[in-house]
Structure 1
Amino acid sequence: MYKKRLIHFKPIIVLGSALFLWLLLPFVVKSFLKTSFYEFQAPVSLASSYVRDLQDFWSARTKSKNDLFEAGQSLARLNAAYQLAALENQSLEDEISRLENLLQLPSRPEYQYEVARVVERDFNAWWQRITIRKGRDYGIPVGAPVVFIGGVVGRVREVHAYTSVVDIISSNHLRLAVVIEGDNRPLSYRGGGSTSFAQPVGIAEFIPVDIQVSETENRPVLITSGMGGVYPAGLRVGEIRRLRQGAGGMFYDGEVELDKRLASITEVAVMILIPPEQ
């Protein structure tokens, strides 16, 4: 009778023993096992990503010539617009360099943009992150800012041999130094997490009480301030859509609406800081 009762508790005893042995392992061994397991299963995610790209390629091959002609015209218009924007950007950079030399100001940090495809997304109550298809093989550093056409995506959290994990700006683990566009008073931003079937949001803190928010139009836009040395100034974060009284009563907290494209993003750019010339 006693043995039969013991059999029912056998899975619990085995699990408890395994957890106890795991706790006794040194930290170095745990880190090695974690990294080894990730690198072992990483090729599966990479293979599925390449298969999706192949599917997209063959689905594009099935389109009619008229569709391809219209797509080519759209790309030609976009290329022309980007060429004009590049010329304007170059002229602005030249003017900035001239003013820096004239006023003897320190040069701004320069970045190399490493474009990477998104392998998988992990959006739930615990994690708000994506995995990209570049890692140590492309020199991706931990802590590097990640952007896309709509502004800030997040920050590199982990770097592996061929992939990197990025915490996106809706993650509770991420904080940014921000300002309201057109206002230089410093604010703090943190990810607000996400619930199932809801759009990810962020929280802006220490908003001055003279800031007003409209529910429909002319909402304040948050941009990075450049403080902290991670993100350059001027990158778009989101729009403040609602205010509430802060904990201390002297400032507001604001709910920040993030770019909706973050949930379906397929390609990002990692900003790698270029060391200044000695």
Structure 2
Amino acid sequence: MSFFRRKRLFIILVGFIILVGLIGFSLRDRDELSTFEQFLHDTVGWVQNTIQVPVQFTTSLIANIEEMRNVYDENQILKARLSQYKNVLYEVQELRQENEELQTTLNKTESITDFEPIQASVIARSPEQWFKMVKINKGKQHGVEPNMAVITGDGMIGKIQSRSQFTSTVLLLNGFDRSNRISVNIDLTDDEEDMTGFIVGYDEDEEALLLELNQSQTDVSEGELVFSSGMGGVFPKGLKIGTIKEVTPGKYGLTQVAYVEPSADLYNMNHVIVVDRSAAMPEDNGNTQAGEEE
């Protein structure tokens, strides 16, 4: 064995002995560390602290970014759900309103005994004549005839202007004039005779029907109800038309003119009833006063 090989083996053996000694020395229970151990521990601790600070910062930054991303995603989901909830709420409100309208119409239909009701739905509002006409989904095949009254659960809205086989056009009350006048009664107190008159048109400024009264001596107050009188043989008696809004002296002071607020909404309707009066009209109409209604 050469000298250098022996020397290397000797160095390895001495190093192993020193290492074992250091391990045994470090494993002893001691209150104080050696200067070298203190230096070594402090150096390692400083290096660990130096490395730990940026690592913690980077980890915290990544966690915050991930949390912000999660918050953004959750916010988008919540916004989508909120939009869905709003749509559902609007649909529920529309369905509730339509249900109330249908219920009112059904109740009105069940309470009708003097004529045959034809239930219909509004399918279009005509752009002509300032929206004074609507189209319904019932026509000749359903028994609809010209001049039949059209009502909702709240009151009269107009009359049949024209018809086809399966649809009809309704002239609303705000499109009436003297050629479409309606004979009416005013429901006064029990100890007074009913006032009579004619609906002769519609005042756009007042947004009310024009009512010409036949008598001028009887006081008519606001809030009185106006019904169709049944005179003239066109519209059945007792259809609610509106409420007296204001009364003013007529021309030359011989009559009174009243503004009547329609009971039914003329601008927002979905379901209507066509009044088939022929089912309840008497056979002898010889005493009918011609010319009072169209």
Q: Same fold (TM over 0.5)?
A: yes
Do the aligned residues in 2 keep the contact of 1:199 with 1:260 (CA within 8 Å)? Answer: no
Matched, 1:161 2:165: yes
Aligned positions of 1:183-222 closer than 5 A: 183-194=193-204, 200-206=207-213, 208-214=216-222, 219-222=223-226
Q: SS in structure 2 opposite 1:192?
A: strand
Identity of aligned residues (%): 20
Q: Separation in 2 of the partners of 1:204 and 1:277? A: 28
Do the aligned residues in 2 keep the contact of 1:193 with 1:200 (CA within 8 Å)? Answer: yes
Q: Separation in 1 of the partners of 2:274 and 2:164? A: 15
Q: Please list the CA deviations of residues 63-107 of structure 1 after superposition, one character each: whole Å capped at 9, or x if unmatched.
A: 48xx69x96xx98xx69x959x96xx69xx7xxxxxxxxxxxxxx
Q: SS in structure 1 opposite 2:121?
A: strand
Q: Separation in 2 of the partners of 1:112 and 1:263? A: 25
Q: SS in structure 2 opposite 1:248?
A: helix
Q: 1:167 to 1:237 in 2, by over 3 A?
A: same
Q: Residue 125 of structure 1: CA displacement?
A: 5.8
Q: SS in structure 2 opposite 1:137?
A: helix
Q: Separation in 2 of the partners of 1:265 and 1:245? A: 34
Matched, 1:177 2:183: yes
TM superposition score normalised by structure 2: 0.52
> Structure 1: where are the runs of 5+ without partners?
1-58, 94-109
Do the aligned residues in 2 keep the contact of 1:189 with 1:205 (CA within 8 Å)? Answer: yes
Question: 4+ runs of 1 displaced by more than 4 Å?
Answer: 123-127, 275-278
Do the aligned residues in 2 keep the contact of 1:136 with 1:161 (CA within 8 Å)? Answer: yes
Matched residue, 2:265: 261
Which of 237, 240, 246 aligns to 1:242? It is: 246
Name the count of aligned residue pairs: 183
Do the aligned residues in 2 keep the contact of 1:125 with 1:193 (CA within 8 Å)? Answer: no
Q: SS in structure 2 opposite 1:186?
A: strand
Do the aligned residues in 2 keep the contact of 1:170 with 1:190 (CA within 8 Å)? Answer: no
Do the aligned residues in 1 keep the contact of 2:161 with 2:171 (CA within 8 Å)? Answer: yes
Q: Separation in 2 of the partners of 1:247 and 1:124? A: 32
Q: Separation in 2 of the partners of 1:276 and 1:242? A: 34
Q: Residue 192 of structure 1: CA displacement?
A: 0.8
Which of 272, 275, 279 aligns to 1:274? It is: 279
Between structure 1 and structure 2, the one with the greater Rg is 2
Partner amino acid, structure 1, of 2:162: E
Q: Residue 137 of structure 1: CA displacement?
A: 2.3
Aligned positions of 1:75-154 closer than 5 A: 110-122=114-126, 128-154=132-158
Partner amino acid, structure 1, of 2:133: R
Matched residue, 1:224: 228
Q: Separation in 2 of the partners of 1:233 and 1:240? A: 18
Q: Residue 167 of structure 1: CA displacement?
A: 1.1
> Structure 2: where are the runs of 5+ without partners?
1-83, 284-294
Partner amino acid, structure 2, of 1:174: N
Q: CA-atom RMSD, angstroms?
A: 3.7
